[in-house]
Amino acid sequence: MTASVVRALADVARDAAHLPAPRQACRACGRDESVLADRADGAVVRHGDAVAKAHAPGTDLDGHRVRLAVAAHPRLAGILLPPLPLHVRDVRGRPVTAWPYGVPVDPADPDAAPWEDAAVLLARLHSIEPAVLPAPLPPMRGPAKAALAHARMRTAAAHHPAAATVQRAWDRLPAWARNEAPSPRTGTLCHGDLHLGQLVRHPAPAGPWLLIDVDDLGLGDPAWDLARPAAWYAAGLLPPEIWQRFLGAYTAAHGPAVTGDGDPWPQLDVPARALTVQTAALALAKSAAEHRDLDEVEQTMIDACARIAALPPELEFESPS
């Protein structure tokens, strides 16, 4: 967006968290706005204890309003970070929201990653009865994001030698996982884009972990929220002991995505494959845009796509790739 990220997102949405006018706030607290992200799909600016986000162009405004109302609902207290009130509603036509600042997961300390906390938060989210929440709840956008990643690869990296491998894996997914048909499981409140970057401690610096980012929140298959760690585990990127800690915490908290006393993979298989393809497609698009070779992790996801593409039909959707 730039132009100093459109004046630091209307200076953190003007009066988020009842801050005084932005320039006065800067003088009062001695802090400048800091840009945390400036991407096509989201720009994020922090000022003191408030964070403002400009959401993606073309955001579905009706669904966006319902998602915000869900995040603010008392039934989601202790699960989702609630939004702050604000007066500035958009920046250059993009909807803007404001949130309390929370301390994110430290990528430099992987041993402290809160896998169990994430699993319990998901189990609690998945157990909320949708009928008590604001309506109409939109569909969870996980499959839509996978389709966007695939389209981005087709545009940016169609001639990459690995693109055909990723395409074959994509073609093996069922229509619902490609966002071409409704999901067979639609009655559960889902986050839609779970990864460790979607957790913060609030109040900072040592409050409980909470989920953030409701852009993809909605009704769908709860297994999708477990799919990224499942895909990493199947590809060999997530150690089995961490996967078992995550999955064990989820089932102990009575999460409904998988059965607690049997093989979880029948429920996880399709979403895990879809996240594998999504990750590989984005890796190809980014490497092409940056004119670089794939790194080791990105190549591992391409290799996982090759295994998905090579599976015989009788083994589709029955075991980890």
- For 234-243, how does the pLDDT look when each residue is reduced to its tens digit (9 = 90+)? 999 999 999 9
Residue with the bigger pLDDT between 23 and 244: it is 244
Structure tokens belonging to residue 102: 């929370």
Question: Using CA atoms, how far apart are residues 99 and 39, in angstroms rounded to an integer?
Answer: 18
CA dist., res. 156 & res. 292, Å (int):
13
pTM for the full model?
Answer: 0.89
Whether 22 shows a pLDDT value over 90: the answer reads no
Q: Which is higher by pLDDT, 8 or 281?
A: 281
- CA dihedral of residues 234, 194, 160, 236 (deg, nearest 10): -20
Q: Are 268 and 140 in contact (CB under 8 A)?
A: no
Q: Name the average pLDDT for the chain.
A: 88
Rounded CA separation 241/311 (Å)? 26
Q: Which two tokens stand for residue 80?
A: 């989702």
- pLDDT tens string 176-226: 999 999 999 999 999 999 999 999 999 999 999 999 999 999 999 999 999
> Mean pLDDT over residues 258-263, rounded?
83
pLDDT of 20 reads: 44
The answer to whether residue 40 scores a pLDDT higher than 60 is: yes
CA–CA separation, 33 and 321 (whole Å):
45
* pLDDT for the residue numbered 227: 97
Residue 8 has pLDDT above 60, yes or no: no
Residue 144 in this model has a pLDDT that exceeds 50: yes
Question: Between helices 142-156 and 265-289, what is the axis angle to 10°?
Answer: 30
Nearest to 298 by CA among 198, 149, 147, 192: 149
Asked if the peptide bond before residue 203 counts as cis, ω within 30 degrees of 0, the response is yes
**What average pLDDT does the segment 160-174 reach?**
97
pLDDT grade for 318, boundaries at 50, 70 and 90: very low
Question: So what's the pLDDT on residue 18?
Answer: 52
Report the percent of the chain where pLDDT is more than 90: 71
